[in-house]
RNA sequence: GGGCGGCUAGCUCAGUUGGUAGAGCGCCAGCUUGACAUGCUGGAGGUCGGGGGUUCGAAACCCUCGCCGCCCACCA
């Protein structure tokens, strides 16, 4: 530790310059090992595993916000005496990465099929190495105190082993099975995706009414927005309670254009009020139809190839893309007189959330994971209060989803990701194994092929809180740092990620992965739209950092943090926090300019009896430190920021430093001591929020030989209520005198103030000094004060009539308030029902107002 | 179709057991006051989305309507 070397003993520059000070600190913290967690430490542990950003991504406002909040917690806990592990990592983001690579290949005039699976894989590995830790290393400029020695990637061999272990464990429990189901199929990625990966968009489509003839006479009309799917209809369903159709149940309809015979069945899932109340049943291409089909043993026909083209051999629509097939089907229906009518119809259509292609539900063999047991454990953990949500309301989002949970489609038909560890031998035996098996356990065959599917990216993310620590090995890290303590996330991945971490954590580790889940607010663009690169509404945090400095961006992030409301981005607020940094900078300069030897020990021994302002400021500091701590502990970081800002600027700088300027100039050691004590505490309280400027100023102030990052968390308990009341009186007198001075057009200094003897003399003296007036025993004329018994007069100014105007205005305002107050007091119900202290307060207020009126009356 | 959040000063937001409406930015006016003009001082500006109700008293609690945003949902 050799901080003194670079400590600037020289004159401080007049203005705070973020670029100049932020450069060095991160490297020094890192090289001094301040971010590295010690699993052997005896301190209480505090662990956060940073949500792994997509390796394809760029740092955006959401990361800046989320990572800052976690870093506030990490830095705070270190100072408060915890051994902190704050672990960074990245996620392989299978679909997103595959799309990136495929685009690259396309640019080279190639497809992945031409390249082959193995070459594709090495291409991906190369790309991963290339991109490396670009995304997370951007966290360095944000000052995020991550333990880089423990950087993890979901494709690291050790992590892959965790994923395989989890798969096999689930398989052995009998929870993994392969079955055909309707899945959300992305024809572009040629893969199934889960329900949660669907992005719903409103479409203006057409609802077609189609006439199906019924055998033995008559007809039944169905309505659909996807007429091309009728080619593989295998039934017609009506609601059994619908009198219009009851007589048709059991009969057979004839499918137009195809001629297939369709049983007409009764099923309660059919909505009588939609369309005609009759539903064409296409079990191969609609989830509800599939269920109806299962209930009535209807045939399942797959009518689509995996690339979205129609698969209807023998029909003229075979091989057409869905939309073209739709046009042709409609034209033919119209030509043959089956189309009854068309009407405009607006509805939600699912798109792939990675590539935005329209999803086609189709039947497909998939790997599924049964969730019942894990779901029930998760529910029980919540019931037992093991997971606390902040804000609380998000617990319901989570629980509601859990209650409706269905089996999870964990398979993806991609080339990139964790390959399903299932192998088949030439004799059709199946082997499930963490390591690739050499031969078939049943027949000894060595001709094995691995299942082509890979796992949903979220399957590996679900293991993050313990797979990053080495699970399934019983590592020191795992023992020391599981369970983690908090998880901080955007609300859009509560179900996708948080819920699944909770379930797997309970299943494999027997404990919830974290006790607290913080869901931060969403940052919107200034115009209220979503921030997104494609909309051009994104704001790059790096640009902001260049402009205002990291500390300003972080302080802004903290100030919005966990607001119940999403916030519109307002750059002027960031700028405001840069000015706050400058304020701290200059307050420090003022102190350092005070003559005499500065204290050599860390400030702390206080002689605060003599001066009212000293007693007041440490009392306010006590309140601020409590509020800042409570805000961090209670996950309302915005409250912490507001409390620290308000104290440092409005109380410490505006009032306290102004009050002691003369004492500082005179080199009064008590004033220096108290002021240094306050600054010292301000730096520590603000360090989690604004690490750079606080570290820099800490190094520049006396008595500090170690990093503020390693200082202890302050707990100031010097509350002095009488001092706060007395100083409050000072403030209101000073403010009123200043107001009178301005409206009188009097010069900035000078004038006389007389205060009646029931005002404490120390209050009177301090008020006079701060208001730049002379305290006098007698006063001629002048203006009466409303806030205290007394009068003030100024050397003749230009605006005497303005002063008169001001007096009358004030008199009016006071009279109005008195009228309102008296009216409330006159209400007998008020006196009988309101608590006595409220009544007393109001009576006191009325008395004050009457006194003020007396003083404000013209002197005649 | 369910559910959640929001609607407070021109703008962005605070307002935690109901008890005289706040901050920052912006605006107006005055200050080169020996830390800071990235500053200091003073000021203007709000029927707390509309309407009901509970209460002595509502921005806060209840009902209702209206917008804005989000999440969940196998109605074709």
Across the 860 residues of chain A, what is the mean pLDDT of every consecutive 10-residue run? 42 90 93 97 97 81 92 98 96 86 90 91 88 79 96 95 98 94 89 83 88 93 94 94 92 95 93 89 92 92 92 94 94 95 87 86 92 94 93 89 90 92 95 95 92 94 97 97 95 91 96 95 84 78 93 94 85 94 96 79 65 94 94 93 95 96 92 92 97 96 92 93 92 92 86 92 95 91 86 70 66 78 83 84 83 70
- Residue A546 (CA) to nucleotide B43 (C1'), in angstroms, measures 35
- Residue A605 (CA) to nucleotide B60 (C1'), in angstroms, measures 44
**pTM above threshold 0.95:** no
* Bases of strand B lying below 7 A from some protein CB: 3-7, 11-16, 19-20, 24-26, 29-31, 33-43, 55-57, 68-76
CB A500 within 8 A of CB A462: yes
C-alpha count within 13 angstroms, C-beta hemisphere, residue A196? 21
- Residue A76 (CA) to nucleotide B33 (C1'), in angstroms, measures 39
pLDDT for A839:
85
Within 10 angstroms of residue A821's Cβ, the number of other Cβ atoms is 18
CB A793 within 8 A of CB A752: yes
Q: Give the E-state strand segments of A438-552 in sequence order.
A: 448-450, 454-455, 486-489, 516-519, 523-524
CB A387 within 8 A of CB A502: yes
Say how far apart CA A772 and CA A783 lie, in whole Å: 16
Q: For A371, which DSSP code? A: -
Within 10 angstroms of residue A732's Cβ, the number of other Cβ atoms is 15
Instruction: Give me the A residues in range 276-335 that sit within 7 A (CB) of strand B.
Output: 277-280, 286-288, 291
Say how far apart CA A526 and CA A604 lie, in whole Å: 45
| Token reading at A257 | 């254009």
Distances (CA, A) of A855 to A615, A759, A789, A791: 31, 15, 7, 8
User: How many degrees, rounded to 5, is the angle at CA A401 between CA A376 and CA A287?
Assistant: 105
Q: Which nucleotide is nearest to A580 (CA to C1')?
A: B38
Is A828 near strand B, with its CB below 7 A from some atom of it?
A: no
Say how far apart CA A148 and CA A70 lie, in whole Å: 15
pLDDT for A193:
86
- Residue closest to sugar C1' of B3 by CA: A397
Say how far apart CA A143 and CA A641 lie, in whole Å: 17
pLDDT for A2:
40
Burial letters A282-302, b for 16+ CB under 10 A, else e:
bbbbbebbbebbeebebebbb
Give which of A63, A77, A151 is closest to A545, Cα–Cα.
Answer: A63
CB A267 within 8 A of CB A296: yes
Is A566 near strand B, with its CB below 7 A from some atom of it?
A: yes
Coil, strand or helix: which one is A162? helix
SS3 percent helix, strand, coil of chain A, rounded to 5, is 45, 15, 35
Give which of A557, A535, A555, A474 is closest to A509, Cα–Cα.
Answer: A474
């Amino acid at each position: 530790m050799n901080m003194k070397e670079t400590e600037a003993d020289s004159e401080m520059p007049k203005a705070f310059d973020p670029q100049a000070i932020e450069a060095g600190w991160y490297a020094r913290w890192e090289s001094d090992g301040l971010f590295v967690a010690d699993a052997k430490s005896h301190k209480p542990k505090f662990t956060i595993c940073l949500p792994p950003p997509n390796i394809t991504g760029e740092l955006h406002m959401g990361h800046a916000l989320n990572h800052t909040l976690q870093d506030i917690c990490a830095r705070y806990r270190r100072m408060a005496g915890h051994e902190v592990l704050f672990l960074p990592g990245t996620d392989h983001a299978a679909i997103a990465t595959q799309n990136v690579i495929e685009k690259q290949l396309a640019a080279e005039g190639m497809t992945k099929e031409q390249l082959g699976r193995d070459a594709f894989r090495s291409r991906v590995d190369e790309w991963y190495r290339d991109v490396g830790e670009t995304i997370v290393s951007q966290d360095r400029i944000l000052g995020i105190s991550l333990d880089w020695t423990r950087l993890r990637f979901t494709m690291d061999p050790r992590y892959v082993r965790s994923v395989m272990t989890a798969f096999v464990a689930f398989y052995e429990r009998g929870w993994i099975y392969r079955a055909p189901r309707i899945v959300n199929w992305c024809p572009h990625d040629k893969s199934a995706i889960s329900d949660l990966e669907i992005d719903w968009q409103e479409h203006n489509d057409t609802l077609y009414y189609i006439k199906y003839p019924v055998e033995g006479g008559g007809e039944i009309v169905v309505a659909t927005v996807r007429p091309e799917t009728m080619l593989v209809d295998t039934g017609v369903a009506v609601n059994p309670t619908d009198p219009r159709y009851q007589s048709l149940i059991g009969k057979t309809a004839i499918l137009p254009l195809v001629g297939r015979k369709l049983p007409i069945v009764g099923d309660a899932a059919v909505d009588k009020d939609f369309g005609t109340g009759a539903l064409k049943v296409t079990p191969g291409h609609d989830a509800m139809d599939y269920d109806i089909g299962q209930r009535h043993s209807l045939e399942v026909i797959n009518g689509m190839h995996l690339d979205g083209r129609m698969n209807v051999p023998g029909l003229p629509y075979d091989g057409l893309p869905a939309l073209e097939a739709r046009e042709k089907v409609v034209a033919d229906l119209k030509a043959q007189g089956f189309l009854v009518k068309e009407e405009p119809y607006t509805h939600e259509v699912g798109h792939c959330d990675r590539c935005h292609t329209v999803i086609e539900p189709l039947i497909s063999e998939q790997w599924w994971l049964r969730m019942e047991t894990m779901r029930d454990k998760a529910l029980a953990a919540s019931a037992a209060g093991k997971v606390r949500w902040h804000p609380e309301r998000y617990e319901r989002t989570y629980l509601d989803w859990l209650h409706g949970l269905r089996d999870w489609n964990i398979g993806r038909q991609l080339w990139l990701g964790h390959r399903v560890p299932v192998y088949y031998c030439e004799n059709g035996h199946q082997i499930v194994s963490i390591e690739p098996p050499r031969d078939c356990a049943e027949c000894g065959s060595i001709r094995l092929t691995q299942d082509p599917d890979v796992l949903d990216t979220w399957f590996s993310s679900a293991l993050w809180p313990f797979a990053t620590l080495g699970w399934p090995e019983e590592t020191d890290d795992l023992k020391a740092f599981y369970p983690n303590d908090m998880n901080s996330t955007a609300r859009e991945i509560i179900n996708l990620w948080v819920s699944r971490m909770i379930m797997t954590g309970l299943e494999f580790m027997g404990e919830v992965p974290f006790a607290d889940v913080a869901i931060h607010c969403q940052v919107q663009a200034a115009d209220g739209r979503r921030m997104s690169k494609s909309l051009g509404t994104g704001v790059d945090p790096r640009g902001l950092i260049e402009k205002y400095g990291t500390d300003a961006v972080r302080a802004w992030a903290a100030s919005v943090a966990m607001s119940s409301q999403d916030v519109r981005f307002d750059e002027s607020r960031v700028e405001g926090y840069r000015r706050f940094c400058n304020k701290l900078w200059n307050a420090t300069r003022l102190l350092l300019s005070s003559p005499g030897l500065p204290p050599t020990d860390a400030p702390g021994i206080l002689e605060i009896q003599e001066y009212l302002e000293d007693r007041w400021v440490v009392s306010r500091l006590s309140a601020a430190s409590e509020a800042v701590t409570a805000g961090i502990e209670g996950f309302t970081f915005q409250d912490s920021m507001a409390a620290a800002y308000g104290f440092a600027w409005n109380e410490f700088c505006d009032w306290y430093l102004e009050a002691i300027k003369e004492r500082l100039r005179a080199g009064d050691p008590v004033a220096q001591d108290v002021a240094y004590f306050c600054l010292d505490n301000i730096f520590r309280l603000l360090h989690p929020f604004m690490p750079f400027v606080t570290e820099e100023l800490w190094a520049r102030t006396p008595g500090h030989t170690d990093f503020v990052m390693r200082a202890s968390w302050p707990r100031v308990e010097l509350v002095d209520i009488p001092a706060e009341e007395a100083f409050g009186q000072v403030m209101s007198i000073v403010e009123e005198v200043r107001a009178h001075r301005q409206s009188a057009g009097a010069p900035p200094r000078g004038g006389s103030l007389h205060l009646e003897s029931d005002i404490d003399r120390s209050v009177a003296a301090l008020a006079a000094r701060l208001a730049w007036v002379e305290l006098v025993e007698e006063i001629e004329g002048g203006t009466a004060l409303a806030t205290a018994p007394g009068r003030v007069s100024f050397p003749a100014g230009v605006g005497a009539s303005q002063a008169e105007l001001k007096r009358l205005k004030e008199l009016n305002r006071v009279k109005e308030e008195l009228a309102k107050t008296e009216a409330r007091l006159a209400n007998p119900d008020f006196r009988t029902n309101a608590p006595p202290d409220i009544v007393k307060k109001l009576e006191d207020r009325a008395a004050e107002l009457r006194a003020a009126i007396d003083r404000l009356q013209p002197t005649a």
